[in-house]
Every structure is written in structure tokens, then in C-alpha cells.
Structure 1
Amino acid sequence: MARMRKGRPVHGWVIVDKPAGIGSTDVVNKVKWAFQAQKAGHAGTLDPDATGVLAVALGEATKCVPVIADALKCYRFRVAFGAATASDDAAGAVLETSDARPSDDEIRAALAGFRGEIMQVPPQVSAVKVDGERAYDLAREGVAMDLAARPLWVESLELIARPDEDHAELEMVCGKGGYVRAVARDLGRVLGCLGHVSWLRREWSGPFEAGQGVTMAQIEELARTPEIDRLLAPLELGLADLPELKATPEGAVRLKNGNPGQVLGHIPYGDEAWASFDGTALALGRYMGGELHPSRVFNL
């Protein structure tokens, strides 16, 4: 006999505007507890000192997490010039300093080399696994690692403001796996002045925006009460950037059973999409010849 899951079968998204000083896993655990949810996950880690949108998936919405993880994300951040740190942000020990400071034109010129398909070496303090262990755990033990560069798509990277000669505010839109701290570190190296992130905010992630976000205070205030479901966004919101195809009645039955089902509409062959019936998401998968071939089926 299958084990019964503890908690409520609640499905959807809690779009949190994460404050500084708390880790992403701690946010997920708090949300799961507050909703008494059976299952929870998140779509894209934020550093403890970072703020902004952290989309927490509950129940069947966890099946959409890969979609959000692969989506473009927008970060606004401040680079502090003149120092390299062990963690590439203000929390790390200073390793090296420089008196050099770049001009606005020098910054704009250097940013061109960080757009498009680039190779990026993750920070020493990161969640990358090295021989089965997290890099941040090894870094805390004083282990210096030679981390391999990874490809990253940077859609845009612009200078937004220059508060003073020691700082620059940038906005970056990038794909999966981007480390803003690595951009600050590498930009400082290219400019010959060194640099690290002094603050960081994720403005949006796929279809989720920080402006939609709820606060941890709101979650705590309504925790474990019937009113907390007011903070829940529908599962379908996490699929908003993908095409929606309407299933036929017969197709809906087949899709619910995990089989390819007939859908109405037309998109390029092999494209990812989701199918709905009577406004409810049924499945996520690939469109092939009038049918959706499901990779994930939603049990709503």
C-alpha cells in the first residue's frame, strides 16, 4: 500500500518577494509549512543576501519547475569597484584591491563582451557540485577549486545608473544557470579595477514578477489559516510563456492517462506546449501531428 503524504493536496504558485537574509530553501520550507502543503519546490535559487522574485511551487505545480528554470530571468544589481572578494559579493573576505576606476564609456564598451553566448566560471561559493559535494561547502573548508566554465546565454546587459565612481548599477536578462556575482567579478577583471556585487534583486523570472510577490510577513500572518489560499496563484500561471492547446474531450481522457491526446490549434512540430480542458491544465509535452505527447501529467 502506498504511503499517504502528510499535509494538504494544494496546487499552485506562491510568488514570494524574497527579503535579504534568508536562503531560498528556508523560504520554501516556510511556505510549505504555512500552507500545510504535501509537496513544495522552487524555480531558481537566490543567494541569501539577494532579494526579489522566488516562485515557490506547491503540489502539482512542482512539475512546472523545469519550465521556469529554463526561462529568461531579469536581474538588477550593483557592482562595487576596487575589490575582489572570496564569494564575489559583499559577504566575502577581500582578496585584492585596486585604486583604478572605470569611466561610464569604458563600462559600456566592456559590457559588449558579456552579451550573447558566453562562457562563465561559477563563483567559488556556489551550488555547483564538485566530486559530489557543493562548492560552497568546500569553500567554507578553505578548499580552492578549479571550476569549469559553463555556457550562459545573456539576452541583454546594460548600464542603468552610476551613483558614484565606486559603483555601477546594471540590469541583465539571461538564461538558465547565470551567476550575477561572476559577471561582476569578470567585469572588474576586464576593466582592470576588480569588482564584486554589493546588492542584487531578481526583477522577474519567466512569467513571474517581483511586483506580484507576497512578503514573508504576509505568509506568516496567514499561516495555517483558511485565508492563506488567497496568496496562491494558479498552476497555469507558470505555463504562461508556453503555447496553450485545447484538448478535445477524447484527447483529455487520453492525456489524463498519460497517453498522446488530440488537441486543437497548431504550432510548429516538436515544440513544447501544454494542453487544457475546460480551463484546467492537463499535461505538458511536445506537439506532434495534432496531438500533445505528454512529458508531465497534472493530477488536478
Structure 2
Amino acid sequence: MESAGPSQGATAAPKGGKVSQQKAKVQRRPVHGVLLLDKPLGLSSNQALQKVKWLLRAEKAGHTGTLDPLATGVLPICFGAATKFSQVHLDADKAYATTLRLGQKTSTADAEGEVIEERPVQFTVEQLEEAVQRFTGPISQVPPMHSALKKDGKALYEYARAGIEIEREARHVTIYSIQIVAARLDAECPEVDLEVACSKGTYIRTLGEDIGEALGCGAHLSALRRIRTGGFGQAQCVTVAALEAMSDAERLACVQPPEALLAGHTVVTLDADNAARFLSGMRRRGAWGDADAVAVFAEQPRALLGSAHVKGGELIPTRLLSPPEVSESLQQQLMNV
């Protein structure tokens, strides 16, 4: 939200004239790294991104994986050089905490939609446990119409709002585990709290709806929170409100260096000559074992140069930082020390 910042005070008006308002002009700057945001309820992922981008006065930013406005939790915001490695966390496994409202189906499979069907809730905790386990392991899901998935350049939710149903191909995903945290089956509004660990591309709304059908009562999500993406967990996140209360230096200190996105990569460190050649896009040879995912650093000063893979003793660049990005990242890290 580029216009979400504080406005400047009114300027003095000529005698008899009107007071004009001047909006604050944000002085952008290069920022490099990843900030782990606890996305608030009610904001889209892009709105949260624009808010944080404005607070950091960053030139370039992107997020890794959309969360619905009604979802909260871990949303990595990538700045500058880190945007080159955002795909790593788009492809990462995820974990969610969710609440299913049982006995009600909605038009969107979550609390945002209208209730389209109601059925009695008549099953035991044992039957609930058995139904949930049916959805662990490799499964197929048909993406919901109310999703950001695109067809002919338009998001599916745009078609859904226009009352148009689009044929969707089933996706193959993996549900590693589903844990029943709490079950309130005898409540006036029966609900069950679940924690789900899953592969990328899993639609938790679809999973919740499918579990409801397996139980014979229908269900929709009344709450959804992403608690982990890759190696990043909710305990590492900062809220928008906390960022707003910080000084500029404190906000910048919340930004982890770009290499935080490459935590699971094999590390290769190059001397000055090889670092310069690698940074220009040249392959390097060395006594390295084959590796699909490599984070490449310069030896002195220690700085991330990019990502690569190794095959047959050859270090092959995948994504490279530019020399200005390397220099600016180093300067930013020194400021945060």
C-alpha cells in the first residue's frame, strides 16, 4: 500500500487561499534480504507486502507464497537480491494450523463465503481420527475456484465472482501428517483444530472440505494460520504493528541476509580470482562432489555471490547477484552488526 504512510502537515496558504495537502514522498533505497512477516488477518499477501515495502523504503520486494486475506502467519518478504532465490521457498514444504467448522459447507470453503449446505454432525472422535488419516500421504486435489491460480491470465477467483466455473486439473500433493489438536464435537458449533504438514501447492481449504465430506457432514475453514515454510517458523516472525513501532534502524535489523533463503544448500567458498570469474557467469572447476543446490560465497570479504549446482567437478551458476547487489548486501550487514 504505497499511500499508507503518514501524510505531511499542511503547507501555508496564501491570504484568502486554500490549504493544500502534500503527501509524503518516500525516498526509496536498496534493501537486500528476507523479512519474516506474521501476516495479519484481513490483508492480502500483496497488501502486506506493499505495507512492509513502504515501511522499509525498499526499492524492490516480493513474497514467497500467497496467503488468503483470512489466513495469518509466516510470509517471507524478499527484498532486492533475495528475490532471486524466492523460488526456493515457493517450492518449500509448509505447515498450517487450521480450524474446521463442521456441519456447514460454504461457497468458498472458508468463512468468507455463504453457507450453502448444513448437515448434522454425527460421528465419534475415533471416526474423526480414521477419516483424517485417509488424507495422509500422496493425494490428488482439484484446486478451488476461489484461488489465485490463473487461467488465461485471470485468477480463478475472478471467474468465480462472475459465476463462471472453470474446469481444473487435479494436482498431486503430499500430506506428511495431520494432527488433531482439539475436537469440540458436542459444541453448538462443532469444530476441530488440526495441524497439517504438507508439500507445496496444497490447498488447505480443499483438504478441510474433503475431510468434511468423508465425515458425511461437510465442513469449511473458520481459521487458517501458516506456522512454517521450509525452515522458517512463526516464532521468527515480526508483525506489521511491531514494525510500525520500530525505528528505521530496528526495521532494517529485522531483515536477514539473502543467504538465509539458502540455508539447506551446500556451501562453496571461492578465492578472489575465482569469485570474480564466477560472478561474471563463468563455470569453475574444483574438487567438489556433485550437488543440486549450492550457495556460493566469496572468501574475503565473505559475501554471497549466488546459487549454483555441481556436476562432474564443475561449479555451474544458477542465479547470480550483480556486483552492486553484493556490495550493498555487505554494507547492509555491516550496518546491522
Partner of 1:63, secondary structure, is: helix
Unaligned runs of at least 5 residues, structure 1 = 1-5
Mapped pair 1:19 → 2:40: yes
TM-score, reference length from structure 1:
0.91
- Checking the alignment, whether the CA contact within 8 Å between 1:255 and 1:283 is kept in structure 2 is no
Per-residue deviation, 1:120: 0.5
In the alignment, which residue of structure 1 is the partner of 2:171? 150
In the alignment, which residue of structure 1 is the partner of 2:235? 211
Q: Which stretch has the larger CA shift, 250-259 or 210-219?
A: 250-259
Instruction: Letter of the 2:268 partner, please give it.
Output: L
In the alignment, which residue of structure 1 is the partner of 2:220? 196
Mapped pair 1:242 → 2:265: yes
Mapped pair 1:168 → 2:189: no
Per-residue deviation, 1:147: 2.2
Matches of 2:164 and 2:291 in 1, distance apart?
45
Structure 1's 104 and 227: CA in aligned 2 closer, same or farther, altered over 3 A? same
Per-residue deviation, 1:42: 0.4
In the alignment, which residue of structure 1 is the partner of 2:53? 32
TM-score, reference length from structure 2:
0.82
Instruction: Letter of the 1:185 partner, please give it.
Output: E
Unaligned runs of at least 5 residues, structure 2 = 1-26, 327-337
Per-residue deviation, 1:262: 4.2
In the alignment, which residue of structure 2 is the partner of 1:187? 211
- Checking the alignment, whether the CA contact within 8 Å between 2:121 and 2:185 is kept in structure 1 is no
Per-residue deviation, 1:247: 2.6
Partner of 1:67, secondary structure, is: helix
Q: Deviations for 1:71-99, whole angstroms, at most 9, x for unmatched residues?
A: 11111111111011111101111111110
In the alignment, which residue of structure 2 is the partner of 1:100? 121
In the alignment, which residue of structure 2 is the partner of 1:260? 283
Mapped pair 1:177 → 2:201: yes
Matches of 1:58 and 1:14 in 2, distance apart?
8
Per-residue deviation, 1:270: 4.8
Partner of 2:134, secondary structure, is: helix
Q: Deviations for 1:199-243, whole angstroms, at most 9, x for unmatched residues?
A: 1111111121111111101222347x3442122111111111222
Matches of 1:29 and 1:75 in 2, distance apart?
24
Q: Deviations for 1:44-94, whole angstroms, at most 9, x for unmatched residues?
A: 111111111100000000011100111111111111110111111011111
- Checking the alignment, whether the CA contact within 8 Å between 2:142 and 2:171 is kept in structure 1 is yes
Partner of 1:25, secondary structure, is: helix
- Checking the alignment, whether the CA contact within 8 Å between 1:248 and 1:262 is kept in structure 2 is no
Structure 1's 129 and 254: CA in aligned 2 closer, same or farther, altered over 3 A? same
Matches of 1:84 and 1:264 in 2, distance apart?
59
In the alignment, which residue of structure 2 is the partner of 1:123? 144
Instruction: Letter of the 1:201 partner, please give it.
Output: R
Partner of 1:124, secondary structure, is: coil
Structure 1's 174 and 249: CA in aligned 2 closer, same or farther, altered over 3 A? same
- Checking the alignment, whether the CA contact within 8 Å between 2:103 and 2:121 is kept in structure 1 is yes
Structure 1's 227 and 160: CA in aligned 2 closer, same or farther, altered over 3 A? closer
- Checking the alignment, whether the CA contact within 8 Å between 1:246 and 1:265 is kept in structure 2 is no
Structure 1's 189 and 263: CA in aligned 2 closer, same or farther, altered over 3 A? farther
Matches of 2:83 and 2:286 in 1, distance apart?
24
Q: Deviations for 1:87-141, whole angstroms, at most 9, x for unmatched residues?
A: 1101111111110333222222122332222111112210111232111111111
In the alignment, which residue of structure 2 is the partner of 1:276? 297
Per-residue deviation, 1:292: 2.4
Identity among equivalent pairs (%): 36
Instruction: Letter of the 1:41 partner, please give it.
Output: G
Per-residue deviation, 1:264: 6.3
In the alignment, which residue of structure 1 is the partner of 2:11? none
Structure 1's 100 and 285: CA in aligned 2 closer, same or farther, altered over 3 A? same
Matches of 1:110 and 1:254 in 2, distance apart?
57
Matches of 1:220 and 1:263 in 2, distance apart?
47
Instruction: Letter of the 2:321 partner, please give it.
Output: F
- Checking the alignment, whether the CA contact within 8 Å between 1:15 and 1:55 is kept in structure 2 is yes
Partner of 1:258, secondary structure, is: coil
Matches of 2:171 and 2:265 in 1, distance apart?
26
